């Protein structure tokens, strides 16, 4: 698919995303008051959302990063989750919030959450900007959710197409029509 020649349909505007990130930041701040919050951002896709979200969290927060792989350059998860870069050390005493850009099959998030539980945190919950429940393969409901979206391939705001377009400040769907 030559994406440059296709029609981009905006699914979520920059303003909609920022409004929801602010609301989520407030909710997380309230829920984790008096707790030791550790946000784990799943790279690469969640880095933009995580940056916007944590700036809206008004309590002290520690931020770590994990790199996982299940997509390669494709449009669907392979189902094989690999941890490329892990959170180091013991998480005893921390309430961990795993942040990702999108959950569709749920396989990556479930795998990461189970993995982090082996590091002795107080709690492990998840936060996703986008959820495609129609594609779910495991029992997983995000604890914090930005938007539920239809089963379409989305790009922008951290989500890539062949490692490009993460910098687009909105989420879009590529249609099959040519410009």
CATH number (domain holding residue 41) = 3.40.50.2020
Residue 1 lies in a domain: no
Q: How many domains does the chain have?
A: 1
95-103 vs 123-131, strand pairing mode: parallel
Catalytic residue among 104, 134, 151, 178: 104
Residue 59 lies in a domain: yes
Both tokens of 35, joined, read 């707790």
Q: Average the pLDDT over 113-128 and give the result.
A: 97
**Residue numbers of the domain that contains 121:** 12-153
**Which residue would you say has higher pLDDT here, 6 or 50?**
50
User: Residue 169's pLDDT is what?
Assistant: 97
Q: Tell me, yes or no, if 104 is annotated catalytic.
A: yes
- Residues 58-74 have pLDDT tens digits of 999 999 999 988 755 44
82-85 vs 6-12, strand pairing mode: unpaired
Please report which residue ranges of 12-104 form alpha helices under DSSP H. 14-31, 47-54
Q: Is the pLDDT of residue 177 over 80?
A: no
Residue 52 lies in a domain: yes
- Residues 72-120 have pLDDT tens digits of 544 555 568 889 999 988 899 999 999 999 999 999 999 999 999 999 9
Global pTM value: 0.90
User: Residue 73's pLDDT is what?
Assistant: 47
């Amino acid at each position: 698919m030559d994406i440059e020649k296709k029609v981009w349909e905006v699914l979520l505007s920059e303003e909609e995303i920022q409004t929801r990130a602010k609301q989520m930041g407030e909710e997380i701040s309230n829920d984790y008051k008096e707790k030791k919050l550790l946000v784990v951002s799943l790279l690469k896709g969640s880095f933009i959302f995580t940056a916007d979200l944590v700036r809206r969290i008004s309590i002290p927060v520690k931020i770590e990063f994990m790199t996982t792989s299940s997509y390669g350059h494709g449009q669907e998860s392979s189902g094989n989750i690999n941890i490329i870069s892990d959170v180091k050390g013991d998480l005893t005493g921390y309430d961990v919030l795993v942040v990702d850009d999108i959950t569709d099959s749920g396989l990556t998030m479930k795998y990461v959450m189970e993995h982090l539980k082996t590091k002795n945190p107080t709690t492990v919950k998840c936060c996703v900007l986008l959820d495609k429940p129609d594609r779910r393969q495991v029992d997983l409901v995000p604890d914090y959710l930005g938007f539920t979206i239809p089963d379409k391939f989305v790009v922008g705001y951290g989500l890539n197409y062949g490692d490009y377009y993460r910098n687009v400040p909105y989420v879009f769907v590529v249609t099959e029509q040519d410009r």
